[in-house]
Amino acid sequence: MVTFAQLMEPLLPHGSIGHCLFLCRMKTAHFRIDSTGGSPLFSVELLTEDNCMRLAELSDIHSGYTARGRLEPLAEGGVPALQLRDVGIGGEAPGPDFQRYALDKLSDRYFVSGGEVVFRSRGEPNAAAAIPASLPEPVVVIVPLVIVRPDRDRVLPEYVAWAINQPDAQRRLGAEAQGTSLRMIPMAVLENLEIAVPDLPTQKRIVELNALARQEGQLLRQLAFRREELVSAILGEASSDTRSCMKVSSPITRAIPRPHPTAASSASNAQRLSYPSSTTVSR
């Protein structure tokens, strides 16, 4: 199993990875990796334009299938469909469970079976995701998703998706976006997007490093959530103990009944007016 350090070693200079801004030299391009604010997700920005190519020169790009009417989901049978909601805004790989629909026989160009990239042409962000090679069957892609079929002799699908999702590429796409209420990226803008193309081994290292960074980010978020739960439980238990102690140490006061003033006065008057029965009166 390849460790995080083994992947970083050929890309980074000697020294601490830390919370810093550092440069790493690659064979065909220079990249800057930003690891600020304690985030494990590295943002790699192109520093030179050496060996940059348009996306259309590296892949075949076309839109997904446009349904003529409302798609009716099926419990069984039908065709599995990949829709906009299936592609995460962070570029997570979709699948493998897709909703199935009753569709007529479609052209093979609308299907993906693994090794392709799908791009969110509407909404924000306009993320891309690589289709995993482990799909059990071909899946039809529905607009507004765009299908990108990379030339795998020159670029890896995962690298293409990673390059599209980089902040610099997202800024360039956003600058050419159309629409006000709902942002849309025209096909020509995606085709003209330039990305750096290092050699395949370097692309593979970048993809593996990105996957490890994502995994580390998920683990850190889970750890933070568990820590928050633990702190809440400890504080809740401490609060319960405090309330119990307050109840035990509180003095118990009981009301002592007092005689009614009218009854007391009547008893006193009765004593003053009464005479003993054995008293004799002298004459």
User: pLDDT tens across 71-91, in order?
Assistant: 889 988 899 999 999 998 888
Supply the pTM of this predicted model.
0.66
Q: Does 27 reside within a domain?
A: yes
User: Would the pLDDT of 214 be above 50?
Assistant: yes
For residue 34, what are the domain limits? 1-48
Supply the pLDDT for residue 246.
63
Instruction: Give 32's contacts (C-beta < 8 A, 6+ positions apart).
Output: 21, 22, 23, 44, 45, 47
Q: Does 95 reside within a domain?
A: yes
Cα-based distances in Å from 170 to 37, 63, 102, 165, 200: 21, 19, 35, 6, 23
Q: Does 192 reside within a domain?
A: yes
172: tokens are 């360039």
Closest CA to 44 of 199, 210, 191: 210
DSSP letter at 47 equals -
User: Would the pLDDT of 15 be above 60?
Assistant: no
Q: Does 136 reside within a domain?
A: yes
Supply the pLDDT for residue 157.
97
Q: Does 35 reside within a domain?
A: yes
Supply the pLDDT for residue 197.
96
Supply the pLDDT for residue 198.
95
> Looking at the 3D structure of the chain, how many domains does it have?
2
For residue 2, count other CB atoms closer than 10 A to its CB.
10
User: Would the pLDDT of 56 be above 90?
Assistant: yes
The average pLDDT across 4-20 equals 44
pLDDT bracket for residue 94 (50, 70, 90): confident
